[in-house]
Structure 1
């Protein structure tokens, strides 16, 4: 009975996209295994910086698999999600929110996740301001909502740059950013950090990985920002591949990632990993269950939004809240079963 209940909940949860159900997956099936692996990288910072970090790993993957591995970059997270959906990307590095979108909409499957060089996993979302800003020292200081401040938020598919601050910073405090700030602009982590350091925005969302990387690569800019809020721990980033590739090819890809830095030229691989983000460690075993916390977060955010919508008819509100509560209940079963 318990197994049936868990299976039923799992089916319901896989239909969630940010808390909204989709009837059928809407992605283009692969006709056969690719002869060239297209490797997608989400746009957390400039393409030139991302190439410097990830192409050495792709070259090693190319050697290990004996097949060409081509990088795929897009100006926003949605570009990589959509490319995977239409079979133009076969494997990608995502955050948890964009990884969830890839699983739900693009035929994706989580197979490993990143870690830190010390073996720890997870990172944090931050709200930052300029170090010289004496008027902003804590979260409450940005809630005067007189439209005097410019706010930099992340890509809409970013976990730490958008979803986490949207829920913890704004939804839980009953704040609508568009009504609170003079401007709200979407940008990647690197751009938001630099805009804060250069006083182009008063406040911005960011994360511990970008701050750590900037301390290494742009210390002058990093020294000009201060953190005024830190989120709960966010699960480490997932690596996602198309689930309709053959088991053989998926096994070879997974073996490469789990062996990288553990087998062969360990020193070289660890040096490559150390150059990614703020210093990455070995890849760890994972699957779609790592997305459960972000699914819960998206549902809670939508629930708060519906509860605070005075323009919604009570019957409609009750129906929508009932649907969300059922999905949260399903997720609770799945989390408990882990």
Structure 2
């Protein structure tokens, strides 16, 4: 009897162990795909879900789309392994690489052949603001629609190439009001004359022109940035290599010849597919971020001269270290 009970116990334990192993194997193929909040979640789901469905069908993986209300939500979700793949802008990808164990493996391609996109500053066509000179004559009288703190085109690039170059920090002291929001919300705020000026990008403007030409006619572009590298795809470094290979195979070949797939990509703000990429594409973004840090330190009146010089020297060393790979 005791032997019989022991055998039953052993079989039960074995069944539990086997079930646990089966569960672990299943979970290894369950992934979350984080998508940055350039628009409302409903709009993003409409654009991306057909692509996610194809991803699951062609790879055999089980991938769920994850839409956070802001960029940091995706970055933190990847950091705590709640998200394993992410579609980012370059600034948010930099955070994901540095803080969330991520690495870039692909970048989007544009249907018009562009290698990237540009940040813009926009206003309503009937606004009293007619030029960049009008913006900087009296910023304290203007309401600014600003981007997410981790947005490349909404914050990082205009913050450096536009406002820092004019010696203006973006804060409530220098502007009447600063209203951080998504690209979609800022674009609609300009169209509806709810803000005086706002940051955005050429991708959103192109989409608006195609889908709502009447609204696009209400927008005036005041400033355009240098080219920004196209948006990267990031996955966690600790994914199994076999899973990474499935993802690379899918992304690198998707929409290359299939008209239906090409239509799906075109509906995601004019994309044409994906190309291989690495963390190296973040080099110019890192340089801009370091320049911004340097300017803040130089303007910080709370620092002693020695501390200021020491911190600036440290940043200069980082910028110098990035210069060699950037040239390569």
TM-score of the two chains, using structure 2 as the length reference: 0.89
Q: Return the alpha-carbon distance in structure 2 between the equivalents of residues 85 and 67 of structure 1.
A: 21
8 Å CA contact retained: 1:172, 1:304: no
Among 155, 177, 184, the alignment partner of 1:183 is 177
**C-alpha separation in 2, matches of 1:87 and 1:60:** 23
- Choose the corresponding residue for 1:303, options 288, 291, 294: 294
Which sections of structure 2, spanning at least 5 residues, go unmatched?
1-23
Give the count of matched residue pairs. Answer: 304
Distance 1:226 1:31 in 2: 54
Using the TM superposition, give the Cα deviation of residue 272 of structure 1 relative to its aligned residue in structure 2, in angstroms: 0.6
Aligned to 1:204: 198
The answer as to 2:262 corresponding to 1:270 is: yes
Q: Which moved more, 1:323-332 or 1:60-69?
A: 60-69
Alignment of 1:99-110 (within 5 A): 99-110=93-104
State the 4+ residue runs in structure 1 displaced beyond 3 angstroms. Answer: 30-33
Shift, 1:118, TM fit = 3.0
Aligned to 1:250: 244
Cα offset, 1:33, TM superposition: 6.8
Instruction: Supply the RMSD in Å over aligned alpha carbons.
Output: 1.6
Asked if the contact 1:116/1:282 (under 8 Å) is kept, the reply is yes
- 1:115–1:146 CA distance, 2 compared to 1 (3 A): closer
SS at match of 2:109: coil
1:160 aligns with 2:164: no
Indicate the SS of the match to 2:50.
helix
Distance 2:281 2:211 in 1: 30
Q: Secondary structure in 2 aligned to 1:185?
A: strand
Question: What whole-Å deviation, never above 9, does each CA across 1:247-296 have from its counterpart, x for those lacking one?
Answer: 11101101100010126xx111111101001x101201100000001000
Q: Which moved further from structure 2: 328-337 or 300-309?
A: 300-309
Please point out which of 232, 241, 244 is paired with 2:235. 241
d(CA) in 1 for partners of 2:180 and 2:37?
Answer: 12
**What SS does the aligned partner of 1:123 have?**
strand
Residue of structure 1 equivalent to 2:17:
none
For residues 311 and 229 of structure 1, what CA distance do their matches in structure 2 show?
A: 33
**Radius of gyration: which is bigger?**
2
Deviation at 1:32, TM superposition (A): 10
Quick one: which of 316, 322, 334 aligns to 2:307? 316
CA distance in 1, matches of 2:308, 2:291: 14
Question: 1:172 offset after TM fit, Å?
Answer: 1.6
Deviations 1:134-190 (A, max 9, x none): x32222211133622110000000000000111111112111232221100100001
Say whether the 8 Å CA contact 2:33–2:86 is kept in structure 1.
Answer: yes
The residue correspondences of 1:131-170 to structure 2 (distance < 5 A) are: 131-133=125-127, 135-145=128-138, 147-170=140-163
**Is 1:80 paired with 2:77?**
no
SS in 2 for 1:200: coil
Paired residue secondary structure (1:234): strand
1:2-56 deviations in Å (ceiling 9; x for gaps): xxxxxxxxxxxxxxxxxxxxxxxxxxxx999732121110000111111111111
2:113 pairs with 1:113: no
Q: Helix, strand or coil: the match of 2:46? A: helix
Cα displacement (A) at 1:115: 1.2
The one of the two structures with greater contact order (alpha-carbon pairs below 8 A, sep at least 6) is 1
Report the Cα offset of residue 246 of structure 1. 1.3
SS of the counterpart of 1:109?
A: strand
The CA deviation at 1:310 is 3.1
Check whether the contact 1:108–1:243 (CA below 8 A) recurs between aligned residues.
yes
